[in-house]
Amino acid sequence: MYNSKILIVDDEKSIIQLLETVLKKEGFRHIYTAGTAQEALRLLAKNEVDIIILDVMLPDQSGFDLCPQIREISSAYIIYLTARASDLDVLSGFAIGGDDYVTKPFNPLEIVARTKAGLRRGVLMPVQHAEETRRRYDFGGFVLDEYEGELLVGGEAVPCPAQAYQLLLYLCKNPNMVFSKAQLYEAVWGIDGMGDDNTVMVHIHKIRERIESDLGAPRYLVTVRGLGYKLIKEKDA
């Protein structure tokens, strides 16, 4: 059983009922539902949630338009439900604060899998499995403090979206190693990464925006042509 709180935002009652049934069967007991963007904002103003399953096509507002408003009041992990799966739509969704997406029609078990993947990677924690040991990773120009859940750049705390933080944490734990996009997706999101290049690329960009002084010539998070990405840790850092 999980103590994580989930908000499902969708105007189709059949989808809400389906997701509620499956999620409850898998041990999630705290589930809120909303049929419109405004209803979702009202719920979020009164309740802290961990995961938001957000339909893109809502009757009063696009989920893509709603996402930045959510980000003003919540750091919840956002999974888009969308039939709009073009590269531009996906990249736009990530750029404005989304963490993951599932295309319609979908298997509800995929939603469960992505939710549990977040749990396993520390985005959320099951009641009985909170990690007790965490570390500071010092790369000279930036420090990732796993105990505080904080990214420090030049000694100053820098806000970092949940999945970008988890990706950076994984790279910090494995410095100077090259990882393909598929390997990073599977390691951080916990699901086979085939076809999810955009997800990794967008989050790599989010990390670079925070830790690199020159995006055109990254010092720490570099691209290894034809292979993937590597986080460089200098010996004296």
**85 and 176 housed in the same domain:** no
Phi and psi (nearest 5°) for 197? Answer: -60, -40
* CB 66, CB 58: distance < 8 Å: yes
Cα–Cα distance, 164 to 113 (Å, whole number): 19
Residue 84 pLDDT: 62
Structural domain count, the chain: 2
Q: With H, G, I as helix, E, B as strand and everything else as coil, classify residue 41.
A: helix
**Is the predicted pLDDT of residue 38 greater than 70, yes or no?**
yes
**For residue 130, is it within any domain?**
no
In this prediction, residue 3 carries a pLDDT of 79
Asked whether residue 125 is assigned to any structural domain, the reply reads no
Nearest to 89 by CA among 112, 67, 114, 116: 67
Q: Indicate if the pLDDT at residue 193 is higher than 60.
A: no
114: part of which helix (H) or strand (E)? Answer: helix 108-120
Residues 76 and 106 grouped into a single domain: yes
97 and 166 assigned to the same domain: no
116 lies in the same domain as 22: yes
Tens-digit pLDDT profile for residues 91-137: 566 667 777 888 877 888 888 887 776 555 544 444 433 343 458 89
The range of the structural domain enclosing residue 220 comes to 136-231
| 100-103/77-82 β-pairing | parallel
Phi-psi group of 228: left, alpha or beta (phi > 0 → left; psi -120 to 50 → alpha; rest → beta): left
Using the predicted structure, report yes or no on whether residue 181 has a pLDDT greater than 70.
yes
Neighbour-count burial of 195, counting CB atoms closer than 10 A to its CB (0-12 exposed, 13-18 middle, 19+ buried): exposed
- Per-residue pLDDT at 236 exceeds 90: no
Would the pLDDT of 10 be above 90? yes
DSSP state of 131: -
User: Does 6 share its domain with 112?
Assistant: yes
User: Which is more confident, 184 or 197?
Assistant: 184
Same domain, 66 and 156: no
Reported pTM: 0.57
- Do residues 6 and 115 share a domain? yes
For residue 196, the 8-state DSSP code is: -
